[in-house]
Structure 1
Amino acid sequence: MNDMQLFSYFFKGCLNEGYANLEGGIYVQNALTNELVPDLYDAGNPEVVTPFWSGVKFYNKLYKEGLLDPDCFITKQEDLRDKYTKGQYLGGIVDWHFGVYNEKQRVVDPETLNQYVVLPAKLGWTNEQNRAGWTGKYFFVSSHSPNVERAVMVLDYIQSEECSRIIDSGVEGRWEKSEKGTPELTQDTIQLKMDGNRLDEWKKSGIGSTFSDMAGFDGNNVAADGGKISLWNEADVLTDSLTAAQKDMCETLGLSLPSDLLKNKIESGEGIDLSNCKSYIRIGIEITPKDIVRIDSNCEELTMNALPDLIQAEDDAAFAAAKEKLINQLKDAGAQDSVDWWQSAWETTLKGLENIE
């Protein structure tokens, strides 16, 4: 999708090369070493394939094989969801673009194998140490607000266990106390999610809606009542709520749960998670100077404009020429000044946060 600027182009590389993206993807963070790496302007580190260049090379390969969607340069997220819903794509790296294709298939046949499933890449977006909170969940109250205290009350509730449980698991009644005294989803709630004929009812329940991005507690956190914030993450529920397609995948690959594929790769050293990634570094960096913001904005725009020539390059020579042209444009736009500032700010922040461990 192109309504998130460069996201589609560097995110594939982040998952497959082992980096965490930093906002617009101009810079990325090595998930193992926590090194800051220039993603677009790789002139100082040409032997490393950064996420952006990995992604662009991948799309170029698709183009040369005749597999790239002709609409790729104008596609927005809503277009992706629409095409997935119609079954026009083979697969994807994230499940929030799949629309309601899977649910519609289950309406026709509850045991259908005709569904999208996600296979993990090298990096699993899990086990991140968010000691300072997730950067996408920051909310602020304007000093000009006539009801600051009331606004803070709303934010305070959103950050509570109670609200987080409601968002991820539904209101009380959708779950109840078990004989052990811990909460568990009712069978009707589990069936509600699984039954394609109850799709409208499921949507109206609000469970697991996009509002969950605002919740203060991650679904895997254990609440004061002994149950997880998201009761869907309890081990027995994970097994009971698998679709027929997911069960078939597990049987084919010799797994108990789809997530075991990533878990096993991490344990064998083939894959990694974010447990070593110090995500709080990006939160502690000083305010970016206006001249650096201007340079970064120009570099992002230059890169967006260069994408068609890169992705539609007919051969390696044409791709190399298009890349050299962009690198020179970035250099002229002051990319090295940006790199110098960001690397200095990154190292200063990292040093200042050494005692956070």
Structure 2
Amino acid sequence: MRKFLSLVAVIAMLVAALSGAVAETAERETLTYGSTMNMNTDKPFYPTKFITYLEDMIDANIEFIQYDNDTLKLTLASGDMPDLMMVNTASNILDGRLAVAMDDYLEEYGPNILKFEKRNAVMRELVSGGDGKLYFHTPNTGPEALTGSTTTWNGYLVRWDLYKQLGAPAINSDDEYIDVLKKMVEIAPKPANGAPVYGMGLHGSQQWAWNIRAMANEGYSNSTTWAYAISTTTTEVMQNYMDLNSPFWSNMRFYFKLNQEGLLDPDSYTMNGDQVQEKAANGQYVGSYCTWYTSDLYNTARLADPDTLTGMIAVYGEGMSGWYGSNHTVGWGDKLTFITTSCKNIPLAVKFLNAMDSDELNRVHYSGIQGEEWDYVDGVPTLFPETVALRATGGEEWQHLGIGSFSNTIGASEFGTAEDGGFYSLWDDPDLKYSGLNPLEKDYADFYGVKYPAQVHFDMVQAGKAINQAGNQTQAVQLGLSVRPDNIIRIDSRMEEIVNRTIPTLVSAADQAAFDAAQASLLDELKAAGAEESWAWWNENWNGTLEKIQNIQ
């Protein structure tokens, strides 16, 4: 009898304990977060380990609400909002007084947020509606792809097997690049269908294709219009159409010369991206303006020969810029998370954003959980081989980890420095990169004596022989830039239309005299369209905003 009563007592205690645990779980609050992001909450791998870790950190459940652009606008207009929301621009939120200022909560609930002093100072100056308070949180503050990705998509892009046959000659100018393209075309095998081989072809139905090559290689990016180019070393704006030293005119001179040599696919004026890929896969190009649009050359060749070296890859000239290395002072300025005036528990929402800025969660986001995906080896944070293998395999088991899945909200960039001295991302290991190279990339790396192809350019940057985007503050300027007036928008659009119409005339000019005449005519037409008025606005507002940011301590 006594044993029976003891058993009953034990069962009663277990039931009580379980009931308490259930009650504790049931009592955990739910924080709602609305955006246009798809968080894959309907997938078998959800919730990810990252989301579960985050929920445990803040002791709350998180419910994600996905909108399209229309339903997002309706929700904001209704005033009946979730606790947190993400938007692309701040003006409507500030004008409608839809955001809660976080300042009064930061000391108690947001100590990690306070560590991002420069980001917060810029946000208070540029996106506070003038009251100097902190309303928004941005993701990915810090350096981006600091050491270069495995490969870069820009550079002097060559078909590697043919380039090696030529002896891999140095290329330090567009003219030298054209000469190499010409020699590669001469030794290129004829496609099976007998189609001609060209230096390159473009999806020239979009102005992006006519601008991006020199823009990336010379250290520029664009903003909301191709009429202007932004230096990725100084962030200053220049006239892309009206200044003859701009990347646009570098490209026009390059494609004009390419066409003169018969190396430009004549379909470049009308093709779309898929058509460029199709011709690349057919072996019709030996060079490119961007690796994205010619990747099918390698993908197709590898089906027949897994060890093929037939594919596009970048080689670099001295002084060339690499599209990596931006140090985003304010993170991604078009991903603005704010606490809404509908929020039921403001301290909890601040705790959520505080977790985004924590050393702990940033490492979990980029590398996984300590002891499960990585740990310290001789004091150095190191990924487990099983984690590396799982990423290579992919699939739902990898997706369940949630590594890298929250980039639009997590506070720091992958190259932010953790308290242990390592990057938040433990994947930037040269030996690890080398182990994941495909045969073409490995052959390239071995040829140049590096661990990964982009290291060639990174080493040039370190030696002062090339540049990257380390000085680029475009995201910060765009965040604080005044809204373009309607008359400036009309002028900029008109200039783009004029240029779109004139590009074929420039590129296909019969000779240098005809090119020069078309150039002069275009400049006159742009000036008549209001180019000077537009430039006055851009110069004052873009460079003026940049100066404000540079003066913020």
TM class by shorter chain equals 0.7 to 0.9
Residue matched to 2:438: 243
The alignment partner of 2:453 has SS state of coil
Matches within 5 A, 1:224-243: 230-243=425-438
Distance between the aligned counterparts of 1:105 and 1:168, measured in 2?
A: 33
The residue aligned with 2:324 is 126
Q: Does 1:138 align with 2:339?
A: no
Give the C-alpha shift of residue 304 in structure 1: 0.4
More strand by share: 2
Higher relative contact order (CA 8 A, sep 6+): 2
Contact kept in structure 1, 2:204 and 2:210, CA below 8 Å: no
Q: CA deviation at 1:294?
A: 0.4
2:271 counterpart of 1:70: no
Q: Which has the larger Rg?
A: 2
Deviations 1:255-307 (A, max 9, x none): 34322221232233331111123322233221111100000000001100101
Paired letter, 2:335: Y
1:67 counterpart letter in structure 2: L
Change in Cα spacing, 1:177 to 1:171, as seen in structure 2 (3 Å) is closer
Q: 1:9 aligns with which of 185, 198, 210?
A: 210
Match for 2:454 among 247, 253, 259? 259
Residues 259 and 231 of structure 1, relative CA distance in 2, 3 Å threshold = same
Partner SS for 2:238: strand
Structure 1 Cα separation of the partners of residues 313 and 303 of structure 2? 17
Alpha-carbon distance in 1 for matches of 2:302, 2:419 = 36
CA distance in structure 2 between the aligned counterparts of 1:275 and 1:228, rounded to whole angstroms: 17
| Pairwise CA distance, 1:74 | 1.5
Cα deviation for residue 328 of structure 1 reads: 1.1
Deviations 1:197-255 (A, max 9, x none): x8xx67996799x9898575544345689875655423331121122222222232233
Q: Equivalent of 1:50, from 246, 250, 254?
A: 246
2:258 counterpart SS class: helix
Q: Which residue of 2 aligns with 1:146?
A: none
Q: Normalised by the size of structure 1, how large is the TM-score?
A: 0.76
Check 1:177–1:204 CA distance in 2 against 1; reply closer, same or farther (3 A cut). Answer: closer
Q: CA deviation at 1:192?
A: 7.6
- Contiguous gaps of at least 5 residues in structure 2: 1-201, 341-345
Gaps of 5+ in 1: 144-148
Aligned length: 342
Q: Please, which moves more after superposition, 105-114 or 213-222?
A: 213-222
Bigger drift between 107-116 and 339-348 goes to 107-116
Distance 2:217 2:494 in 1: 27
Contact 1:86 1:101 in 2 (8 A): yes
Give, in angstroms, the shift of residue 22 of structure 1: 2.3
- AA aligned opposite 1:269: G
Judging changes above 3 Å, is the alpha-carbon distance between structure 1 residues 6 and 247 closer, same or farther for their aligned structure 2 residues?
Answer: same
CA distance 1:251–1:77, change in 2 (3 Å): same
Q: Distance in 2 between matches of 1:192 and 1:103?
A: 23
Using structure 2 for the length normalisation, give the TM-score. 0.52
| 8 Å CA contact retained: 2:252, 2:506 | yes
Equivalence map 1:204-223=2 (5 Å):
214=408, 216=410, 218-221=413-416
Cα RMSD after superposing both structures: 4.2
- Contact 2:213–2:290 at 8 Å: present in 1 too? no
Match of 2:288 in 1: 92
Change (3 A) 1:250 1:234: closer
Partners in 2 of 1:59 and 1:3 — Cα distance? Answer: 11
Over the matched positions of the two proteins, sequence identity in percent amounts to 29
| 2: CA distance, partners of 1:29 / 1:258 | 27
Deviation at 1:329, TM superposition (A): 1.0
CA separation of 1:104/1:233 partners in 2, compared to 1, >3 Å: closer, same or farther?
farther
